[in-house]
Amino acid sequence: MPEPSRRRVLTTAAALTTAVGARPVLAPSARAAEGDGHGHHSPAAFDEVYRGRRIRGGPTAAGGHHTHGPGYAVSVDGVELHVMRNADGSWISVVSHYDPVPTPRAAARAAVDELQGAPLLPFPAN
C-alpha cells in the first residue's frame, strides 16, 4: 500500500476535525527548564495570534514523539499540531515536515503559513 500523500493527510485531518472537534492545549510542566536529557532545554511557552490564528505552545509532563521525558505541545486555533524535535535541535511539524525551524513557535508559524487559511485538523494517533 503506498504512503499517503500530504494532501490526503491534510484532507483526512480536515474531515476528522469537522467530525470530532478540537482538543485543548496541555498545561506547561514545571520540569520544562530541566531539558530533555539530550542536552536540549525545552523552549519557553508562547501564546499569540499570528496572521489571525491563535498559536500556543508549552512544555508538557508527558513525553513527546519517541522521547523519554518532558514533551512539548503546540496548537493552532485549539487543535493540536504534532511537532517533533530533531537530533540537531531543530523542530518540524506534521504540516511542514520537510522544513526544519529553530523553535516550536517557528513551527507553528510555518504551519499557519502552509495552511493558507485552511483549518488544522487533528492528526490521528495510532
- Over the chain (126 residues), what is each successive 10-residue block's mean pLDDT? 66 55 40 46 92 96 57 94 93 92 97 95 75
Q: C-alpha cell of 61?
A: 509532563
Q: Provide the pLDDT for residue 36.
A: 47
Sequence-separated (6 or more) residues with CB below 8 Å from residue 34: 41, 42, 70
Cell 530533555: give the residue.
36
Q: Provide the pLDDT for residue 123.
A: 76
User: Could you tell me if 110 and 116 are in contact, meaning their C-beta atoms sit under 8 angstroms apart?
Assistant: no
Q: How far apart are alpha carbons 101 and 90 in whole angstroms?
A: 5
Q: Provide the pLDDT for residue 11.
A: 65
Q: Provide the pLDDT for residue 8.
A: 67
User: Could you tell me if 122 and 20 are in contact, meaning their C-beta atoms sit under 8 angstroms apart?
Assistant: yes
Q: How far apart are alpha carbons 32 and 45 in whole angstroms?
A: 9
Q: Provide the pLDDT for residue 104.
A: 96
Q: Provide the pLDDT for residue 56.
A: 98
The overall pTM is greater than 0.75: no
Q: How far apart are alpha carbons 70 and 52 in whole angstroms?
A: 29
Q: Provide the pLDDT for residue 94.
A: 92
DSSP bridge pairs for 101:
91
